[in-house]
Amino acid sequence: MTLSTLFQGFGTLFYQEPKIAIARVALIILGILLVWLGKRGTLEPLIMIPMGFGMSAVNAGVLFFAANEVGTLFVNPLESDPIAIMNVLQIDFLQPIFTFTFGNNLIACIVFMGIGCIADVGNVLRYPFTSMLIALFAELGSVAVFPIAHAMGLNYGEAAAVAIVGGADGPMVLFTSLMLAPNLFVPITIIAYLYLSLTYGGYPFLIRLMIPKELRGQAVITTKKTIITSGEKLAFDIVGCTVLTLLFPVAGPLFVSFFLGNAVKEAGLMHYTKMIEEVFLYWATFFLGLMLGVLCEASTIMNPKVLILLVLGMLALLLSGIGGIIGGYVVYWMNGKNFNPTIGIAGVSCVPTTAKVAQHEVAKANKRINIIQIAMGANICGVITTAIITGIYVSMVPML
């Protein structure tokens, strides 16, 4: 027995192609970095810590399967015949989770139900026109990147999947990529979650670049109704779910998950609310991060399209941020300058991050101003518009 067969994680580094070995080492380091940045709060810890562990472990734990074959105990059970793998290795611990939640998009729907459960649609009902208008402008990246991605060599399904990154909604990216680009759903989804974690640090600079300080500190004078009853919210949930599902049936699982999660809360079903918030959402988030990390194996990431995806994902989020701020300016002029255009960034539906970014930037310019209610209205509408565009892509792209 040689050292390479005894310590196979190291031994396989010298057996594989140099570019794969280098990618493995880089991904191990990246996984460790994600855990550290998650712990610091620079990136979203609920996703990044399990993702970092999975990424480091899968690229460290490569072993010899046969004389001319290497693989891991993590990924191969997801790609090969589970019975054959178990007969040789006696392990298949992630296959049930992958099959049960990823193969049918269940995990995206569970996360979306959790988002609905913690969302407040009352802000949408207070400012419906403003919220929806801003949200539509904030889909600029989701729309504009689609033709750009196709022109750069991606097929229509792959182009649509990476364009949805502009909607800044992780479950939506997962849903779209699994439906339209299953061969690239791992890198697309990982890129989406990495970039979404960085929006809190990047979007403030975009706001300062596009909006002068005097406008960032402007108050919004409103006489809107301040109290929206649970009955009104529940009515909005059932009507919104029914109408949107009627128009875009292919995105029905997303609509029913989001609106049902919110309806459970508004109906006062505390046992269901607690189950969704404290069990379903955290379970799904944890295994989403872990599975994405485990699937981030070097040979998968070495796909030549990954660099294109990195550029396009960043472009999609940048354009959506710009579009949202333009929407904020449009409302500012339509309301006779009685609006704060900073709210526009909240139309990018990274709930509630972009709304918090808007409030933080406004408070830095004028500590007495609070725009969080209007911003959350745009934020929730951003979730709805992204789901609508997802439905359009998933319905239309297979016909192209």
Q: Does residue 90 sit within a domain?
A: no
pTM: 0.84
3-class secondary structure, 57: helix
**pLDDT class of 89 with cuts at 50, 70, 90:** very low
372 lies in which domain range?
105-399
Return d(Cα 99, Cα 10) in angstroms, integer.
30
Whether residues 156 and 250 share a domain: the answer is yes
Residues contacting 218, CB < 8 A, separation 6+: 339, 340, 366, 369
Q: Does residue 69 sit within a domain?
A: yes
Question: Residue 79 pLDDT > 60, yes or no?
Answer: no
Whether residues 222 and 328 share a domain: the answer is yes
How does pLDDT run across 12-55, given as a tens digit for each residue?
776 777 888 888 899 899 999 989 988 987 777 888 899 899 88
Return d(Cα 171, Cα 214) in angstroms, integer.
36
How does pLDDT run across 129-183, given as a tens digit for each residue?
999 999 999 999 999 999 999 999 999 999 999 999 998 888 889 889 988 988 8
Q: Does residue 112 sit within a domain?
A: yes
Look at residues 389, 400, 344, 395 and name the one whose alpha carbon lies nearest to residue 163: 389
Q: Does residue 92 sit within a domain?
A: no
Whether residues 75 and 36 share a domain: the answer is yes
Whether residues 191 and 233 share a domain: the answer is yes
Whether residues 154 and 197 share a domain: the answer is yes
**pLDDT class of 202 with cuts at 50, 70, 90:** confident
Burial of 272 from C-beta contacts in 10 A (0-12 / 13-18 / 19+): middle
Q: Work out the percent of the chain whose per-residue pLDDT is above 90.
A: 44
Q: Does residue 185 sit within a domain?
A: yes
Rounded mean pLDDT, 211-216: 92
Among the ranges given (21-30, 67-76, 122-131), the one the predictor scored with the smallest mean pLDDT: 67-76
Widest Cα–Cα separation across the chain? 80
3-class secondary structure, 69: strand
Mark which of 85, 115, 138 sits at the end of a domain.
85
| pLDDT at residue 86, as a whole number | 41
3-class secondary structure, 63: strand
How does pLDDT run across 376-387, given as a tens digit for each residue?
999 999 999 999
Rounded mean pLDDT, 190-198: 80
Mark which of 19, 54, 85 sits at the end of a domain.
85
The count of domains in the chain is: 2
Q: Does residue 97 sit within a domain?
A: no
What are the Cα distances from residue 175, in Å, to 103, 117, 158?
A: 10, 19, 13
Question: Residue 195 pLDDT > 50, yes or no?
Answer: yes
Question: Residue 228 pLDDT > 90, yes or no?
Answer: no
Whether residues 215 and 149 share a domain: the answer is yes
| pLDDT at residue 274, as a whole number | 92
Whether residues 167 and 63 share a domain: the answer is no
Q: Does residue 99 sit within a domain?
A: no
Residues contacting 249, CB < 8 A, separation 6+: 391
| pLDDT at residue 117, as a whole number | 92
Whether residues 334 and 211 share a domain: the answer is yes
Whether residues 81 and 109 share a domain: the answer is no
Whether residues 43 and 73 share a domain: the answer is yes
Q: Does residue 349 sit within a domain?
A: yes
Question: Residue 6 pLDDT > 80, yes or no?
Answer: no
Whether residues 76 and 185 share a domain: the answer is no
Return d(Cα 285, Cα 264) in angstroms, integer.
20
How does pLDDT run across 241-285, given as a tens digit for each residue?
999 999 888 888 989 999 999 999 999 999 999 999 889 989 988
3-class secondary structure, 32: helix
Mark which of 30, 53, 85 sits at the end of a domain.
85
| pLDDT at residue 384, as a whole number | 92
Whether residues 15 and 120 share a domain: the answer is no
